[in-house]
């Protein structure tokens, strides 16, 4: 069976001449993102021999009937970046650690480390951590490791947190707006990203659901170095531009970057387990104002409430960015993340293939939008249909070429 086609269905047989012609079109310029395919030689058999790929490729099976669930979440976004500082409220220090935008899971260990340093500068060694998502759990664990007695308070526990809804790619993007940040914040951001990157490497493995994975970005024009790649190049290893004959993607320019992916359901369960085993109580409670936080028995409060900080502390710069995901049934052979460059993305997890493509600033709705679902699904159907045909064409060409 050719990889990339649903079980039980046979791919259309593609003659050698047609296969080489198709591969020649992809290699000459692609058909993605509005880029017209370049002409090929009048005799396709005069094209260079098709070489085997150095890795296996598979296409995701996408169809409306394969969608297992639709997920909607609200990212806590501030154009000026996350808040990491200490404020005094009635002589009680409150360390803020919120507003990570689309990078909450990614940045969690890094900003937790900075919050811990803030707390260590005080005399207190007992803390209340507010919030039980990725940021709150990482913060609680680091405080425990450094000798703090911790009690967590949260309105929602995993699997009901916003972090559970995230796709889970380790990537410090969508955290701030480049034109709205200060030099001081960028220094803080770079350090937090590097710290988080290092912390996550210690968690790689099935217990925490963290693994390394190839990311492939597609473009109709040459891909230059992005701003974050220039700012923190050490957290983007394995960057390489692929030649057209190395991949099945319908784009003339493809870049590989190696990152990590976090299986959120596995990861958050393991983190909550670790926090409890290390002695922390987790109290289910919702706070309506700062006075309730100040009244807690713990002498220092660590605020990891995400969007909740807007109401609690009056942060009007904190806004929701709505994200909607479509999840199709899992495919164990899909071992890469795909970023087509048109707002869509695909990320494989053990609980399903996550298909995304929405970033709606200021939208508070948690109701799935049917039009968004159709756009995400149909866009991926078209994309992976092309990828599957290119895989079939390549295999047909290889099979007909006796020199390989």
pLDDT score for 222? 93
CB 131 within 8 A of CB 313: no
pLDDT score for 243? 95
Query: Nearest 5°: phi and psi at 316?
Result: -75, -15
- Quote the pTM value: 0.87
Give mean pLDDT in consecutive 10-residue pieces for the chain, a chain of 404 residues: 40 54 50 37 55 94 97 96 97 97 97 98 97 98 98 94 91 95 97 98 97 96 87 91 96 96 96 98 96 97 97 96 96 97 93 94 95 97 97 87 49
| Integer CA distances (angstroms), 222 to 35, 43, 54, 335, in order | 12, 29, 23, 25
Domain boundaries, the chain: 79-209+263-317
Q: How far apart are CA 83 and CA 236, in angstroms?
A: 24
Q: How far apart are CA 155 and CA 143, in angstroms?
A: 21
Return the structure tokens found at 283.
């109290």
pLDDT score for 17? 55
pLDDT score for 238? 82
Among residues 170, 174, 185, 184, which one has the least CA distance to residue 226?
A: 174
Would you put residue 174 in left (φ > 0), alpha (ψ -120 to 50) or beta?
Answer: left
pLDDT score for 402? 46
Question: Which residues lie closer than 8 Å to 272 by C-beta, 6 or more apart?
Answer: 132, 137, 157, 158, 282
Place of tokens 């660590």: 302
Q: Please give the CATH superfamily to which domain 79-209+263-317 belongs.
A: NAD(P)-binding Rossmann-like Domain (3.40.50.720)
Question: Which residues lie closer than 8 Å to 302 by C-beta, 6 or more apart?
Answer: 94, 95, 97, 115, 119, 127, 128, 129, 130, 136, 139, 143
């Amino acid at each position: 069976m050719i990889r990339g086609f649903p079980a039980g269905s046979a791919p259309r047989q593609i003659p050698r001449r047609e296969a080489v012609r198709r591969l020649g079109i992809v290699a000459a310029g692609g058909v993605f993102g509005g880029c017209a395919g370049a002409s090929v030689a009048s005799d396709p058999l005069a094209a260079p021999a098709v070489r085997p790929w150095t890795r296996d490729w598979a296409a995701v099976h996408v169809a409306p009937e394969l969608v297992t669930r639709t997920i909607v979440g609200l990212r806590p976004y501030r154009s000026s970046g996350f808040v990491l500082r200490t404020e005094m409220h009635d002589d009680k220090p409150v360390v803020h650690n919120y507003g990570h935008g689309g990078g909450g899971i990614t940045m969690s260990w890094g900003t937790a480390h900075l919050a811990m340093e803030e707390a260590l500068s005080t005399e207190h060694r007992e803390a209340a951590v507010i919030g039980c998502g990725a940021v709150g759990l990482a913060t609680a664990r680091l405080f425990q490791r450094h000798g703090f007695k911790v009690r967590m308070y949260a309105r929602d526990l995993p699997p009901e947190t916003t972090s559970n809804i995230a796709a889970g790619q380790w990537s410090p993007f969508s955290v701030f707006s480049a034109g709205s940040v200060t030099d001081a914040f960028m220094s803080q951001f770079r350090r937090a990203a590097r710290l988080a990157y290092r912390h996550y490497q210690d968690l790689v493995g099935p217990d925490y659901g963290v693994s390394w994975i190839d990311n492939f970005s597609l473009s109709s024009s040459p891909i230059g170095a992005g701003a974050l790649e220039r700012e923190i190049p050490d957290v983007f290893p394995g960057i390489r531009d692929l030649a057209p004959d190395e991949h099945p993607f319908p784009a003339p320019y493809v870049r590989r970057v190696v990152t990590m992916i976090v299986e959120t359901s596995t990861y958050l369960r393991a983190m909550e387990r670790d926090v409890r085993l290390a002695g922390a109580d987790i109290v289910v409670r919702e706070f309506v104002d700062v006075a309730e936080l100040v009244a807690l028995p713990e002498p220092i409060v660590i605020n990891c409430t995400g969007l909740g900080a807007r109401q609690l502390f009056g942060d009007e710069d904190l806004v929701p960015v709505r994200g909607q995901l479509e999840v199709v049934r899992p495919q164990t052979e899909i071992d890469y993340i795909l970023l087509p460059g048109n707002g869509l993305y695909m990320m494989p997890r053990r609980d399903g293939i996550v298909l995304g493509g929405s970033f709606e600033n200021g939208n508070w709705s948690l109701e799935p939008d049917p039009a968004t679902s159709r756009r995400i699904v149909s866009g991926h159907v078209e994309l992976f249909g092309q990828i599957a045909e290119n895989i079939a064409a390549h295999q047909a060409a290889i099979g007909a070429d006796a020199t390989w």
